Structure 1
Amino acid sequence: MEYLQIEKNASPYTIKYYREDIETFFLFLQQEGIHDLSNIDQRIVRVYLTSLYNQQLSRRSVSRKISSLRSFYRFMERDSIVTTNPFINVSLPKTTKPIPGFLYKEEIEKLFDVSDETDPLGQRDQALLETLYATGIRVSECQQLTLINIDFSIGTILVSGKGRKERYIPFGSFAEKALQTYIQDGRQKLLNKAKANSDYIFLNSRGNPLTDRGIRLILKKMVEKAALTVHVHPHKLRHTFATHMLNEGADLRTVQELLGHENLSSTQVYTHVTKDHLRNIYLNSHPRARE
């Protein structure tokens, strides 16, 4: 767990699932009377996979557990605890990638109208929403932003993503205005309530850095104020950012770089298009779509 946190810079959720997957495997070994991790062979791996499928787990869950154990054994190989990785040649079950949920432009416009921008917390909420939608960053990346990460002179944010990989993301005039207003006014008022100074951009009502959970609660309250019937979480804003970018003509490679995806396949799930966009393309492209 320390290796994942310190060397791999894994998110708390990733560490949580790795721990659960490894502990589940340990429990299986205990039930099978196996007490030495170096004694695991292909036969035992097959028995374990059978036990997972017998629990009627989804292919996605089984795939994740195999990946966790493969990484676990790779770590043990590195530290010379074992000499072979019994999960290295186990093929992952094919999983279907669902189309990510996203907000239509009309829905997200309602969110932009709910905050009281004369109030410090309202300024913060507006800046938070504008930043998430303008950049498509993860909630963990947003929570870690500090003042030094923003360069207003060229309109970019420096983000530290998974595995400590850094990337620059541009932002537009709406996000710039919201951030400038909040940083120069509301943020300073919130910071005055804290006992210690902080360089983090997004603060809670007591002037302390916002947590991931705090950001999720803010979005939930904004949705309630906007009277939207959809569930909105930070990752849905990331989905929305990618979908709107591609629908407006951005190329896949650019969106991949902005999202910080290592593999293009992770970005390709966003290549779905809305019905309106599909209709507009048809009407503008087909020779006999219009008179």
Structure 2
Amino acid sequence: MRLERDIEALLADMAAERRLAANTLESYRRDLLPFVAYLREQGVDELTGSTKTNVAAYAAKLRRDGRSAATCARALVSIRALYAHLVRSGRMDHDPARFIEPPKAERKPPAALNVADVERLLAAPDTETPAGLRDKAMLELLYATGLRVSELVALQEPDVNVGLAFVRCGGGGGQERIVPIGGYALQSIADYLAAGRPKLLKPGLATTALFLSQRGDGMTRQSFWGILKRYAAAAGLPEGELTPQSLRSSFAAHLLANGADVRAVQEMLGHTSPAATQAYAQSAKLLMKDVYDAAHPRSGKRT
């Protein structure tokens, strides 16, 4: 049939010009066959007779059928490619899908650890070694302040004021912010500065970086990822689920779950929009539900 032939012509064109893999071409086919079937149900027998209304109605149908925003967006990309092929071949003089906006992807709440998991992670480093003191200070500081990992590894010694209990960091767009530090993190940083950092320093290698690698230079994001992965395994946390963002998320979710003001958390995280901070509110609600299920005698989930 003509509709299906148009799809196959597009796929042949893409295979020849863009050298797409067979699996990619099959993905396009899976997206487009339901679309042309829908057009046929609507009495449209040729793509040249379809309109923007047909495309918009199909996109709405996908959402009504429970398809995710990502699935709908991918289908629309395939449909646009089909119409672009028809325009290039001269069979159509306009693209009915051109100005149809794909649905916005749902904002998933950032993953946050519960307090017990955070405690196990923070207890994992061996503080009898200089590297362990450093790692303990880094983990405690991340959880205490919600810093991004890029901000953490960029810290210089003068950025942390142990006496006044705050850290100065540079956020996105060159915006500097001041974040308070809690007592546990302060103690860990003080221990590291006293007995960890001096032993990690290498003779003749001057640096003001706060957190030093075994080589004596500043810690990198990649190095910290490796450190975090090692301690996640030591703490018995699910492999692959813990990232530096997890501690930033836990910082925000735990504050919100305990009644912190959203605007204050927003400032500490360095978010430019309250909407970005609100995403952590869902994680906070889930954490409160876990606490309720574990503690309330009538929750029905206690063993």
TM-score of Structure 1 vs Structure 2, range by shorter chain? 0.5 to 0.7
Q: Distance in 1 between matches of 2:101 and 2:161?
A: 45
Q: Answer with 1 or 2: which has the greater Rg.
A: 2
Any idea what SS the aligned residue of 2:155 has? Answer: coil
Q: How does 1:1-291 map to 2 (within 5 A)?
A: 58=70, 93-191=103-201, 193=202, 195-230=204-239, 231-272=241-282, 273-275=284-286, 277-278=288-289
Q: Which amino acid aligns with 2:107?
A: K
Does structure 2 retain, via aligned residues, the 8 Å contact 1:131–1:175? yes
Q: Distance in 2 between matches of 1:275 and 1:166?
A: 31
Q: Distance in 1 between matches of 2:287 and 2:105?
A: 29
Any idea what SS the aligned residue of 2:111 has? Answer: coil
Aligned to 1:7: none
Any idea what SS the aligned residue of 2:168 has? Answer: strand
Q: Which moved further from structure 2: 247-256 or 227-236? A: 227-236
The alpha-carbon distance between structure 1 residues 253 and 59, as it changes in their structure 2 partners (threshold 3 A), is: farther
Q: Distance in 2 between matches of 1:203 and 1:128?
A: 11
In the TM superposition, residue 100 of structure 1 has moved relative to its aligned partner by: 1.2
The alpha-carbon distance between structure 1 residues 116 and 280, as it changes in their structure 2 partners (threshold 3 A), is: closer
Does structure 2 retain, via aligned residues, the 8 Å contact 1:194–1:206? no
In the TM superposition, residue 277 of structure 1 has moved relative to its aligned partner by: 2.0
Structure 2 stretches lacking a partner, 5+ long: 1-13, 19-51, 53-58, 60-68, 75-98, 294-298
The alpha-carbon distance between structure 1 residues 204 and 94, as it changes in their structure 2 partners (threshold 3 A), is: same
Q: Distance in 2 between matches of 1:131 and 1:60?
A: 41
Q: Distance in 1 between matches of 2:168 and 2:222?
A: 22
Q: Work out the number of aligned pairs and report it.
A: 207
RMSD between aligned alpha carbons?
A: 3.1
Does structure 1 retain, via aligned residues, the 8 Å contact 2:257–2:287? no
Does structure 2 retain, via aligned residues, the 8 Å contact 1:253–1:264? yes
Aligned to 1:4: none
% identical aligned pairs: 33
Does structure 1 retain, via aligned residues, the 8 Å contact 2:121–2:231? yes
In the TM superposition, residue 92 of structure 1 has moved relative to its aligned partner by: 6.6
